[in-house]
Amino acid sequence: MSSSIDEHIAHIRASLPSSVKLIAVSKQVPAEMIRLAYNAGIRDFGESRIQEAASKQAQLQDLSDITWHLIGHLQSNKAKKALELFEWIHSVDNLKLAQRLNQLAQQLGFTPKVCLQVKILPDPQKSGWTVPELLADLGELNQCQFLQIQGLMTIPPLGLTEAEILDVFNSTHDLAKRIQLQNLPNIQMRELSMGMSGDYQLAVQAGATMVRLGTILFGDRH
Ligand SMILES: *Cc1c(COP(=O)(O)O)cnc(C)c1O
């Protein structure tokens, strides 16, 4: 098992430009498997659920140089726990949540790195800002000075062709450039968190700086 993880990781790492951060999505993956991935060189892990992440982090406390990324939808009532557990939150998906995180970050003395989750195409299954909504909220997001807003995160809707997926990723990149041009001092657009096991090559082609890979590293979750 360990050699198969090693090989997967080496193979995928080699297929990515060195500037692209590989985040191993370890939701539903047991702590022992995360440890194997760590031993194969992975230092960034993505989790979707607060409780699950808390329990695995407790089992992996000795691996003190892991960076934990929250990639799943975050409910406001779990925002404090999220700040305690995660250095990165990719799934900040509405203004209220951003403001709540900002307030808590100030109180707790944290400065979390966050991505703003956008929906380029309508998708009832996903949370996130639409493009016009995000543009309208930028002024208020810029006032969330305890958040380090680093860029955008997106997940294309299911059922698109490759060309359509590439369009979504390119549009996300264009949106980031457009936001950058506004020169808002508290909003950086240096990161594009996009690409999962099925579409990460397209994401990299469109300028992804962080890919979130689960299945292709750890196998099927179900
Ligand atoms: C589960 C998940 C991933 C990883 O998906 P795979 O297809 O297994 O690579 C990436 N991003 C988010 C937001 C996820 O929920």
23-67 confidence digits (pLDDT tens): 999 999 999 999 999 999 999 999 999 999 999 999 999 999 999
The alpha carbon of 214 and the centre of ligand 1 are apart by a number of angstroms equal to 6
190-214 confidence digits (pLDDT tens): 999 999 999 999 999 999 999 999 9
d(C-alpha 143, C-alpha 102), whole Å: 9
pTM: 0.96
CATH number of 2-218: 3.20.20.10
Atom of ligand 1 nearest to the CA of 217: 9
Write the residue with the smallest CA distance to atom 13 of ligand 1. 71
Phi, psi of 18, deg, nearest 5: -65, -20
8 Å CB contact between 92 and 214: no
Cα–Cα–Cα angle for 37, 205, 159, nearest 5°?
85
Residues contacting ligand 1 via CB (< 6 Å): 25, 27, 48, 71-72, 155, 196-198, 212-216
Atom of ligand 1 nearest to the CA of 153: 13
Neighbouring C-alpha atoms within 13 Å toward the C-beta of 95: 12
